[in-house]
């Protein structure tokens, strides 16, 4: 599978202008003035994390690419509503997540296991225990067995590398709800990994 970024201009024609000199705030300002070259900079910067998130949510590379293209199209159309000074990544992620969930509701599709190992790195006993598991296949299977709501926050927090607040913004949830879902999701994953024998418990309280 060709990963995003291997074909320049895949989502929009042309090349990136001033990529090395442009800041995100400058790019947003220029985008809001209708500068397509500035938006190509945004695409180049965020297409990989958006694709990875969409792929984790759908398990299908073709669908993930379609969702990313749709998200960027919607972002371009709505860029004038973006509040300058805010973080752009969570805003883009929210557009993407909404697009994926909307399509999944239409198709009633279930997500499938991951095809690539992606480490989970985060402080905390449960997270460290999952990261320490050497059986990556078991981790992928455990993630696949989570509910869509729990899988969503896990993917956004640990794979898209968003903060809890950014996950909340992206998913349209309260921070307390995100924390609660993460706690339950990680606890469930831990139980599944223990049941599969992929992770040994060494007296570390849940």
pLDDT at position 154: 87
| 124-148 per-position pLDDT tens digit | 445 555 554 445 667 767 877 888 8
Contacts of 179 (CB under 8 A, 6+ apart): 164
pTM of the model: 0.64
pLDDT at position 14: 41
Enumerate domains of the chain plus CATH numbers.
24-107 (1.10.1740.10), 125-196 (1.10.10.10)
Is the pLDDT higher at 60 or at 168? 168
| 93-106 per-position pLDDT tens digit | 889 988 887 777 67
Distance of alpha carbon 139 from alpha carbon 119, whole angstroms: 9
pLDDT at position 199: 60
Long-range contacts of 104-109 (CB under 8 A, 24+ apart): 104/57, 104/58, 104/148, 109/58
pLDDT at position 107: 64
Distance of alpha carbon 137 from alpha carbon 196, whole angstroms: 10
The CA angle 164-170-49, to the nearest 5 degrees, is: 90
pLDDT at position 66: 94
């Amino acid at each position: 599978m060709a990963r995003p970024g291997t074909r320049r201009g895949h989502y929009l024609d042309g090349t990136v202008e001033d990529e090395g000199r442009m800041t995100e705030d400058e790019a947003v300002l220029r985008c809001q003035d209708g500068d397509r070259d500035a938006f190509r900079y945004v695409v180049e910067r965020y297409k990989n994390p958006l694709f990875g998130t969409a792929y984790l949510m759908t398990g299908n590379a073709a669908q993930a690419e379609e969702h990313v293209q749709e998200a960027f199209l919607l972002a371009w159309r709505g860029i004038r509503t973006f509040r300058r000074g805010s973080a752009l990544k969570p805003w883009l992620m929210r557009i993407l997540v909404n697009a994926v969930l909307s399509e999944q509701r239409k198709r009633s599709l279930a997500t499938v296991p991951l095809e690539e190992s992606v480490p989970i790195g985060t402080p905390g006993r449960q997270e460290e225990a999952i990261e320490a598991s050497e059986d990556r296949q078991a981790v992928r299977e455990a993630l696949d067995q989570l509910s869509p709501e729990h899988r969503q926050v896990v993917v956004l927090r640990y794979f898209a590398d968003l903060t809890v607040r950014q996950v909340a913004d992206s998913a349209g949830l309260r921070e307390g709800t995100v924390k609660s879902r993460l706690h339950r999701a990680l606890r469930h994953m831990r139980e599944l990994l223990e049941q599969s024998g992929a992770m040994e418990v060494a007296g570390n309280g849940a």
